[in-house]
Amino acid sequence: MSNVPVLTLLEPEAPEAVAPCCPPLTERPLTAEEAERTARMFKALGDPVRLRLFSLVASHEGGEACVCDISDVGVSQPTVSHHLKKLKEAGLLTSERRGTWVYYRVEPSVVAAMGQFLTRAD
């Protein structure tokens, strides 16, 4: 028997970059770091294919979607993978590998923070 650790494929992959960070836009000026992080999230959604993929995942039954269920967006499979990677790097999606498929889920805390960011503080 070996003491080599075994990587399980069922562990969710961690988002690489962005955590919710910012107060409502009207509350105070953003710091440079807050602006950078927030811009990354909105930039990721600025591409129509990414926005569509994000919408497909968010609206999918159960709040998660297999890549096999969302890949019909008019671009090749490698391009879909590229766009999903960009959404993950922006912290908007998380993923989990199950066998040969990857399942994506919207990161709710980040989406809530984006919504709050655009809400007027009174």
pLDDT of 20: 53
Arithmetic mean of pLDDT over the chain = 79
pLDDT in tens, 66-91: 988 888 898 998 999 999 999 999 98
Q: Is the pLDDT of residue 117 over 70?
A: yes
Q: Is the pLDDT of residue 122 over 90?
A: no
Binning pLDDT at 50, 70 and 90, where does residue 2 land? Answer: very low
DSSP 118: T
Q: Is the pLDDT of residue 93 over 90?
A: yes
Tell me the CA distances in angstroms from 112 to 16, 39, 44, 100, 115, one per residue in order.
Answer: 18, 15, 16, 31, 5
